[in-house]
Amino acid sequence: MSPLGPGDVACWVLKSTRPPELIEPGWRVGTARELTRCVRRSYRLDLVRPGQPCLLWISGRTAPGVHALGEVTGEAEERDGGPVVAVRLTRLPSPVARADLLADPAARDAEVLRMPAGSNPSWLSPEQYAAVLAHLPPRPDAALGPWPT
């Protein structure tokens, strides 16, 4: 498989095994948090740019899937523990379930579904990202408009 190019990535996928309430205590549904997420050193970090869409994927046995949606807010940078990327994520009221995405023909071949232990960040193509957006739960406060994309 050839390396990704800028036009291949519609959304970055940042993975964790910890649910949102353990990543950021007090993180309420529908609210955004500025977070710094650890990522793996690779050529992909050169493609990550502020303003690009990203999402938080929780893996494991309990509610695997998309738990938050947002955007990259900073360039990938080195810290003491390794590379990190700054993001702003809004917590969803319920996850977009892994099972729903596996059943969706547009999403089922996403890297995060095919290789759950693969690179962090992972990525979604435009078609895969559109499928995730189509599965988003309703926003609890409709006055805020649609989910950030």
The string of pLDDT tens digits covering residues 18-74 is 999 999 999 999 899 999 999 999 889 999 999 999 999 999 888 999 999 999 999
Residue 87, pLDDT > 80, answer yes
pLDDT at 144 over 60: no
Token digits of residue 147:
């989910």
What predicted TM-score, i.e. pTM, was given to this entire model? 0.91
Fold of 8-137: ph1033 like fold (3.10.590)
Q: Which two tokens stand for residue 20?
A: 């949102």
**Mean pLDDT value of segment 84-97:** 95
Residues 6 or more apart whose CB falls under 8 angstroms from that of 26 comprise: none
| Structure confidence at residue 146 as a pLDDT band (50, 70, 90) | low
At residue 100, the pLDDT reads: 96
pLDDT digits (tens, 9 = 90+) for 98-142: 999 999 999 999 999 998 777 799 999 999 999 999 999 877 665
Which residues touch 96 (CB under 8 Å, ≥6 apart)? 65, 66, 132, 135, 136, 137
Each domain of the chain, given as residue ranges in start order, spans: 8-137
Q: What is the mean pLDDT of residues 74-80?
A: 90
pLDDT at res. 142: 58
Give the distance from CA 104 to its chain's centroid: 18
φ, ψ (nearest 5 deg) of residue 143: -65, -20
| Token pair of 90 as six digits | 């809004």
